[in-house]
Chains A and B, each alone.
Chain A
Amino acid sequence: MAGKPESDYKKLTDEELILLFQKEDVSAFNELVYRYKDRLVNFIFRYTGSREESEDLAQDTFIRLYKSKHLYVEIAKFSTWFYTIALNLTRTFLNKRSKFKTTSISNYYDEEEKDFDLESGGLLPDDIANASNEGDIIQRAINSLNEKFREVIVLRDIQDLDYEEIAKITNLPLGTVKSRINRGRECLKIMLESIHKPKTKK
């Protein structure tokens, strides 16, 4: 099966490639890696905010695809199925990471000193100071978003997937997806305005 030239694989759709890979055609898998590696790394990086972790998670996703290729059914779009794998792996990774993360320092002080609580879902002054350009600021704003909004915003506005596909990937109703996207954008707007306002005032 691996006798096809590379140009033939480039003409094939994702679904055709995965079907070929199910018949032990490794060249089809290589073509899928070539097509999706950048997209996947970008998606995971925007979701996690870490370059190294995004590459590791992208490789994990491809390994999962390699191992469980037989689980793909032709009914669904390949990109939907593949992004679902990536999203689940990233979610579990973030859950594991959040276990080691301290969210509040109020546990170490009295009730009166609760002013030390950090606000969740906002940009820190250090983030703004460390951000070298607007892209970094936006990325930090995305990272500070709630996970529910972040995943749909990344899938819609960065990966450019349609609503229905996002609904299938996140396993949410279409209306919920739309509302979450709107609320996420609203949160981002507020955060970015809060950054730019002091600058304009000065």
Chain B
Amino acid sequence: MSEEEKYPEIREKLRSLETIKASGDFTRNLQLRIVEEESSRRKEHVKKYDLEKGGFLRNLFTNRQYPWLIPAIGFTAVIFFVFYITFLSRTNLITESSLSSGDSKKETVQSENGTLHEEKKETQDKTPENITENSKKPDEGNSSVNKSSDDRENTVSKPQTTENKKPIVSSFDNTEKSGNENMKMKKDVGDNLKEREVFSKSGDEKLSAEESPETDADKATVPEMSAPESSKDKTVTDEFKGKGLLLKLDKINKAGLESLRNKINN
């Protein structure tokens, strides 16, 4: 007996059961539900698209598709931070070491020529040119580099004054217009020249001896200043530019003074 023939009564009863049909508004309700589903899906899509659009950080912390991004970025940030700190500390060490070495060199040079420098400074401080210079300089005593540059300027300015006599005299003559002012100037210049003569007579011998060690000192200091290792060097070069202008003024004054001296002597 096959399985189909076992319970024919029950099978007949089950088959004779009334078939339940869907209600009349089944398809309409189904369409409405489908429309709702579509709209909700579109909203979800729009939300997702907005999320994708909304900034890097927002995507990073709200998008859960790539959760590994957060620790990865954190780790890289830490690495960058550590590298930055180490780089900074290294650069600081290098600049400090270079500065300290430069200072030591200068100190050695200064210790060698200490007495000469002091004497020269004394003489320079007494001259009116240096007085004007000192009044113009904002912070002379801060850096030892400035001192060495001043020394160099003084040494360089002397031979140039003799060469630039004629053009500067002409320019000075053009400026001689008012008599009272000229008289005052002459008096002042005369006083200054007298002082200079005294210093030049006593210090000619010393200066000739000073010039050679000063050049050595300049040689020692120049590479430090020109080395482009740190930002401090840049400031030093800027100071040099300012000093260049002062030097030119100094030359002009000296040339004028010497021309006056010649006139008076004549």
Q: Chain A interface (Cβ within 8 Å of chain B)?
A: 30, 33-34, 37-38, 40-42, 45-46, 51, 54-55, 58-59, 62-63, 66-67, 134-135, 138-139, 153, 157-158, 160, 178, 181-182, 185-186, 188-189, 192
Cβ distance A37 to chain B, nearest Cβ, rounded Å: 4
Q: Chain B interface (Cβ within 8 Å of chain A)?
A: 3, 6-7, 9-11, 13-15, 17-23, 26-27, 29-30, 33-34, 37
Inter-subunit contact B17/A41 (CB<8 Å): no
Inter-subunit contact B34/A66 (CB<8 Å): yes
User: What's the Cα separation between A36 and B242 when bound, in Å?
Assistant: 98
Inter-subunit contact B15/A42 (CB<8 Å): no
Cβ distance B6 to chain A, nearest Cβ, rounded Å: 6
| Closest partner residue, chain B, to A40 (CB atom) | B22
A-B contact pairs, 21 of them (CB 8 A): A37-B22, A38-B20, A38-B22, A41-B21, A42-B20, A42-B21, A45-B20, A54-B20, A55-B23, A58-B22, A58-B26, A63-B34, A63-B37, A66-B37, A135-B18, A157-B14, A158-B14, A178-B3, A181-B3, A185-B11, A189-B9
A interface secondary structure, majority: helix
Given contacts A33-B30, A55-B22, 5 further A-B contacts (CB under 8 A): A42-B21, A59-B26, A158-B15, A185-B11, A189-B10
User: What's the Cα separation between A34 and B31 when bound, in Å?
Assistant: 13
Cβ distance B107 to chain A, nearest Cβ, rounded Å: 85
| Closest partner residue, chain B, to A186 (CB atom) | B7
Chain B residues lying within 8 Å of A58, measured Cβ to Cβ, are 22, 26
* Contact of A63 with B30 at beta-carbon distance under 8 Å, contacts A181-B3, A185-B6 already known: yes
Chain B residues lying within 8 Å of A62, measured Cβ to Cβ, are 30
Chain A residues lying within 8 Å of B11, measured Cβ to Cβ, are 157, 185
Inter-subunit contact B7/A135 (CB<8 Å): no
User: What's the Cα separation between A37 and B23 when bound, in Å?
Assistant: 9
Within the complex, which residue of A30, A38, A181 is in contact with B21, where a contact is CB–CB below 8 Å?
A38
Chain B residues lying within 8 Å of A51, measured Cβ to Cβ, are 20
